[in-house]
Amino acid sequence: MVDAFSLYAKLPPLARRPVAINDLVQKVAALYFGVKEGVSLRVEAEELGEVLLDPEQFRQALANILDNAFEASPPGSEVVVRVQRDGDTAVVEVADSGPGLSVDDPELLFQPFFSSKGRGSGVGLAVVQRILTDHGGTVRLEPNHPTGVRAVLRVPLSAPPPGVPSTPAGSVDRSPPAR
């Protein structure tokens, strides 16, 4: 079994490059079709062009969110993945119709080792938060209607965030112009 804590502690620095986020999300989501009997998956992805991402780490973050969504989903329900633009931000949403959040403060769920699952290590969301923060983005869990959880991942579409160099210190900024 993978040592979840070392996975969390040893997340390497981001290796970012322009990535078609829409394709990346479709590819990760494709791995989840049919993983749980009776749970269907719908993907609605807007063409957003390329975003500066570490594709491996972003894939990992999305997989952790999808794992949670499928684990929470009862038979006969649907997981919905959406990719859309909100101004200069790419928004990836994963909504399920499971039981919803069991705590008043969703921040608690992001703590390493918080898990309501017997076999869960509770590190999934901590890793997601770390990866999204490294990308200058955010992750939040909110109630889905009428039931379930909506996980919302947001990453800037163009410029890297301050303090996270995408070019070596002292070099000129060669980041692509904002579209």
**Residue 125 lies near ligand ATP (rule: CB under 6 A):** yes
First to last CA, the chain: 43
- Residue 115, phi then psi, degrees to nearest 5: -150, 140
Residue carrying structure tokens 């993983």: 35
**Residue 8 lies near ligand ATP (rule: CB under 6 A):** no
**How many Cβ atoms are within 10 Å of 25's Cβ, its own excluded?**
24
Spatial separation of the C-alpha atoms in residues 113 and 2, rounded to whole Å: 15
8-state DSSP, 27: H
The token duo for 141 is 């869990």
In terms of CB distance, is 51 or 149 closer to ligand ATP?
149
| Residues near Mg ion (CB under 5 A), total | 2
**Residue 54 lies near ligand ATP (rule: CB under 6 A):** no
**Residue 83 lies near ligand ATP (rule: CB under 6 A):** no
Least distance to ligand ATP, CB of residue 42, Å: 16
Write out the binding residues for Mg ion, residues 108-127 only, by CB under 5 A.
124
In terms of CB distance, is 51 or 132 closer to Mg ion?
132
In terms of CB distance, is 68 or 144 closer to Mg ion?
68
Q: Which entry of ligand ATP, Mg ion, none binds 61, CB below 5 to 8 A by partner kind?
A: none
Q: Which entry of ligand ATP, Mg ion, none binds 122, CB below 5 to 8 A by partner kind?
A: ligand ATP
The token duo for 135 is 């990308």
Least distance to ligand ATP, CB of residue 78, Å: 13
What's the number of CA atoms in the CB half-sphere (13 Å) around residue 5? 2
